[in-house]
Structure 1
């Protein structure tokens, strides 16, 4: 069939179709279930500068081979026959590593280079097209490499759930699922999965549970969470295929008629014995427990929530978290062991599954320099303000300055007006009182928006039903309002706000766990909503935590002892005195059923409304001073971007382009040769866009009259640029068009004018012949017939020759 074909003239696609796929199928691989072409690996990283974003090229493996659905075995990377047989092996190895498989192949249609991690004697070897290994051959080697036993195979090969609509786990989800199943098959009973917010932890958990359940390895399963919203979302969405086998635990009973149970920590524990629902079933009732957000309550040894896990200690327990907690008092790793798989925020952004961020840090003079009241300064209630220097940690806790609140609100308002007034925004404040004052300031600064809806700005905190009721509307992509949510603790976790485009930090954040969770509110991508990235507006230097190695590094176990924890009531009192929102679902040491909230304190946060019985507090001074009439101004505003190495950098888009292109082309000469050799310049332009070069931003920074070629030569290689009109005039001066006559000369002359006005992309599109001024020569077919011998190829050759003439003066 393929004898006599000149492979050198075939495209990569032809090489795959005519040589590689037949070789694979001849080895016995099933085209329907085991061979997947163009297997998606990444979505393509989003690059942001200014208010413009562009995706780099998505990465796809030419061919991925599976033992069965969800169990990858090998990757094949193809190249055209112009390259050597092993030219694509490094790319193939990258995909193989992501998929967790030991076999990688590269081919140019002549044969295969086979990289076999299971063969310690000869890792790489060339094989013919006829010698491609069968699925059974690779599966045997794979099982030996993994150390699988025959009795483990029924579980290890249990199929994934298929929704019938083509949804399949992403590569990292596949890795997390397969590693979990493998660990359970080998008898491991404590597992920890670390996956960044927005990467599909619940879907991953569902597939793990499904396979264990279907294989009859686990018969009664408990999915534990600490938010009703999480339980409801899980029940309705990811876990829906369990159907009638699934129930939510309610009241004081666990119903043995069901196999899949979704439980809320708070609903299963309490101070009274009757409230401890979990104790009403035997310790062996559940044989699998999956703990969502396990860095919270379940991580602490002395929490009521941990009692549930201890009661069912014989069950396999899988912890899910984006932020494993490692402190002197609490350790996920000590309880669950080292993570069996980690997929970080950095990796998610690099792969294009998570949204990158732009940071705008605003330094306020009183924050940076401190503020000391003038002698005799009274607060708004007539109290003498303590004479000392107040700093950033004091503001909106011990000291309220109205003008500072106003400046923050004005900055937020200005940003939204400049970009998108309807962009979903979360403003994180220090406490409930701060969130309410911020809401009021934003309301007054946005009267035209509030006139459209009084829910334009809402305080969403744990103390008020009206605000909490708006949370589902805020996260619903189909609902316009609320637009701005001011909050303290309630929205730090468990809020699936895919549409959130702006996160405002006016809260002092010391905890890395909390910081990661807050950032996670913005990292989800929503393509339909045009949410590819988000902005962090930071007033408290909180984003300095991005530079902390712990932000995206491996969790380091630091727990060395278990000192006596604060008494529950003392911790609660501290929170109440600060006027903070009490987020019962997050605090490890508070029993939510035992708390009666002191209403006076909860509303205004003043110490005198709640008596601690502590002599230190029995005085007449207010806990917090509230002042105005203070001059406050922003000292500096700095914009930073997420860089290719995962760090925040302050740079122009010219700097970014220079760095990106220097990696792609080693020299000016290489770039020029690549440009001139391209059949279509648009192909080079598209390739550079996929690398993150955003032409609109370059035009803003450099000037709109430059051709992409000149823009790159100027920005990256410091060459003096020619404008498009200058290039066009040089061609006219050389009397280039005298080699043509009639319609051809007229058309090419006007194409040159079109280039000067709009650029090279316009003249490469043959559809330009359908519009003015070309339509005066007739329809496209007539133009081709009159001027180019009736052949489109002749027309394309003439356009290519015109492009060669345009760029000939940059050939060296």
Structure 2
């Protein structure tokens, strides 16, 4: 038997013939402990114009597990022509994502073993026969983690598997494992920070499942402050709990169940008789999961805090995308530092969350201000206070009909240019504003409303009809409603997978609230083509993207008393004021809390129309005018600025040419390097596809540069500033050189037609398998017949195409002086 020539083997052959046998020989079970081609990321989405492309991502060659819930090691393989440790750096990257201490790199000759548990010598070379056994790695892992024997039954409990092949993503598994580890070690206050759209509820379910199945926690309470959150949780992620689960209604806690889902409002109220949580002993629940814990529950003066304090002996896990840190409310003070954080930026980089582009719209009265004439009265006959009204006033204290109309027209025109059926959420200042915006949008879209009167709906806490359409709005299979106007109700907890347009016509000062609103668009939904979303900003709210707090670790926000403002010794200029309304606290005058209040078994809304309640005006017979309504004002749009999310997580105003240049100069250091690579490629389409995988969207580039350019000339021109040749010019150069004369008549005719095809469509057209089946070529005969009669066979035909491409690209762009 001839010996195997390792150098000639592919990477896949090295894995199957050398690496896998070595692993199995060491005792690893390929059914439960070995996974090949483990895709950890989805691939970042690049957006320019109205087009999007995903970057391709590599998979970890092999991941070893103690059990499916506990990854232990990454193995990265390379072909034997490479050095044995070639794949180590790649493997270390995957190990960081999986939070594992062991990495192996191999070319089939042996392994380089990176062992974070051995600080005296991190990397050693071992033979194929010396690969460690499962027990050896597990023992080293437990020592590295510091596990005690009593923790192991909890830590090793499997997550829920429905048999569909779905398993937690790498960051979800990290969040689950770190929480389970913390609970097993006796930690009783735990905080998880995960960006909106990354599956916090699914993660919470898996945490509860593992602790419940391990019998570490027997009675569990899942707390939320909105009915929609509780109902979505019960029907979707928590469904496997089946008969062990109940939703607390009617202010009754039924001890027959083990998993309880509840609204805060169903467990407590201002009257002692409403404090349903007191029906059971303080040690009744041993695990409490607090959803959206940035709202209300962690505040010391919140009525809801009493529930957590009553069950203080229970382990309490807070979930949030936006931990709140102010002098009044601190998630970290209550829960401690997060055991795990997964940010919006990480989610976008990994391709699990949708990137965004921002369209900033500047309106003249917003930027320049508007002042009434002396003694001017509004539409209701109220004398308007004489001052300059600006962006912060509009739709809060001053309503200009023409401004509302201009915003509605801008939204409508954007949808008409893109897709009129794109799910859209318009965030307004209050319920009154949301109703006026609904009406303006209806009048701007008569054809769409004629097809279905639910094309535009106001979905706010005070409107039973609108709220009833919320589930239809977030259901990808339901086309209507398309546009939802709202103020507070849809800022959080609304899983609108197909939302493609988020409109900001609301004054937003709170970073917490801003992040929650942006989260309405960040979900990716491939089935319905939702890969990215647009933010249409009328109130400069997106300036908050530049704030370090947007995607960083939350910092305490300093607050101040009104008296300090007039104190010359105070540092008021350095104070950042967090003005966010907290659900469950007093209404702040914007007129909507949208909290669901569960009275007995019925949900009662606590929303008030704008102006009815305004702080100190309670009880006064004569209230001052809270909002003026005017019309007849000239309002104009000064301009629009389009910004994109770049690779550094920042918003930039740049063309796709700029993006292409920055991206490809990392791949090709010089023009010569690119030209050499292009010339050596047997098929140019392979390079075109490779560049597309880097996020180069050819359609968008063609629109900016010119459609008649070949990708080769496009890159030479855009990336290396060379004067390009058009496809037609390249084709004519080939013809001028009498290139075809070395072939017979039939071959000349075929090649000439293919050259014309290149001139019209590009290089992909002549490399296609169907090149001989289209255009005038098809009239000359069948493909196999043409290849045989004209060129002597299929291989000779392929060689002729390669030579033709070489002739096409013979004249490269000249370097400019």
Native 8 Å contact 1:682 1:764 kept in 2: yes
Q: 2:427: which partner in 1?
A: 428
| Structure-2 separation of matches of 1:281 and 1:176 | 31
Mark the CA change 1:679 to 1:531 in structure 2 (over 3 Å): closer, same or farther.
same
Native 8 Å contact 1:680 1:764 kept in 2: yes
Determine whether 1:680 maps to 2:664.
no
Native 8 Å contact 1:103 1:115 kept in 2: yes
> Residue deviations 1:246-294, cap 9 Å, x none?
1111223222221111111110111222221111111111111111111
Q: Give the superposition deviation at 1:390.
A: 1.0
Mark the CA change 1:560 to 1:512 in structure 2 (over 3 Å): closer, same or farther.
closer
**Equivalences for 1:466-485 in 2 at 5 Å?**
466-485=465-484
| Structure-1 separation of matches of 2:584 and 2:220 | 34
Q: 1:487: which partner in 2?
A: 486
Mark the CA change 1:262 to 1:727 in structure 2 (over 3 Å): closer, same or farther.
same
**Equivalences for 1:783-802 in 2 at 5 Å?**
783-790=786-793, 792-802=794-804
SS at match of 2:457: strand
Q: 1:76: which partner in 2?
A: 75
Q: 1:540: which partner in 2?
A: 539
**Equivalences for 1:394-433 in 2 at 5 Å?**
394-433=393-432
Q: Give the superposition deviation at 1:793.
A: 3.3
Native 8 Å contact 1:607 1:623 kept in 2: no
| Structure-1 separation of matches of 2:585 and 2:344 | 35
Q: 2:698 aligns with which of 695, 718, 722?
A: 695
Q: Give the superposition deviation at 1:752.
A: 1.8
Mark the CA change 1:573 to 1:774 in structure 2 (over 3 Å): closer, same or farther.
closer
| Structure-1 separation of matches of 2:706 and 2:107 | 43
| Structure-2 separation of matches of 1:469 and 1:253 | 26
**Equivalences for 1:246-645 in 2 at 5 Å?**
246-558=245-557, 575=587, 578=589, 580-584=591-595, 602-603=608-609, 605=611, 612-613=618-619, 621-645=624-648
Q: 1:776 aligns with which of 779, 792, 804?
A: 779
SS at match of 1:194: strand
Q: Give the superposition deviation at 1:101.
A: 0.3
Q: Give the superposition deviation at 1:598.
A: 10
> Residue deviations 1:556-615, cap 9 Å, x none?
24589999xx9xx99999747x352232359xxx9999999999xx4463679996246x
Q: 2:808: which partner in 1?
A: 806
Q: Give the superposition deviation at 1:10.
A: 2.9
Q: 1:748 aligns with which of 736, 740, 751?
A: 751
Q: 1:55: which partner in 2?
A: 54
Which blocks of at least 5 consecutive residues in structure 2 are unaligned?
A: 563-577
| Structure-2 separation of matches of 1:499 and 1:179 | 31
Which deviates more, 10-19 or 270-279? 10-19
Normalising to structure 1: TM-score of the pair?
A: 0.94
> Residue deviations 1:526-562, cap 9 Å, x none?
1111111110000100000000000000122458999
| Structure-2 separation of matches of 1:283 and 1:609 | 36
| Structure-2 separation of matches of 1:570 and 1:86 | 54
| Structure-2 separation of matches of 1:440 and 1:8 | 72
Native 8 Å contact 1:328 1:561 kept in 2: no
Native 8 Å contact 1:460 1:470 kept in 2: yes
Question: What value does the CA root-mean-square deviation take over the aligned residues?
Answer: 2.7
| Structure-1 separation of matches of 2:443 and 2:429 | 21
Native 8 Å contact 1:283 1:312 kept in 2: yes
Q: 1:665 aligns with which of 657, 665, 668?
A: 668
Which deviates more, 669-678 or 314-323? 669-678
Q: Give the superposition deviation at 1:775.
A: 2.3
Native 8 Å contact 1:665 1:671 kept in 2: yes
> Residue deviations 1:785-808, cap 9 Å, x none?
323433x33332222222222222
Q: 1:108: which partner in 2?
A: 107
| Structure-1 separation of matches of 2:56 and 2:637 | 40
> Residue deviations 1:38-61, cap 9 Å, x none?
101111111101111111103311
Q: 1:761 aligns with which of 764, 770, 781?
A: 764
SS at match of 2:15: helix
Which deviates more, 423-432 or 98-107? 98-107
Native 8 Å contact 2:113 2:124 kept in 1: yes
Q: 1:725 aligns with which of 725, 728, 747?
A: 728
Q: 1:6: which partner in 2?
A: 5
Which deviates more, 699-708 or 148-157? 148-157
Native 8 Å contact 2:154 2:211 kept in 1: yes
Q: 1:231: which partner in 2?
A: 230
Q: Give the superposition deviation at 1:619.
A: 5.5
Native 8 Å contact 2:594 2:606 kept in 1: no
Which blocks of at least 5 consecutive residues in structure 1 are unaligned?
A: none
Determine whether 1:25 maps to 2:24.
yes
SS at match of 1:809: coil
Mark the CA change 1:560 to 1:425 in structure 2 (over 3 Å): closer, same or farther.
closer
| Structure-1 separation of matches of 2:215 and 2:622 | 65
SS at match of 2:527: coil
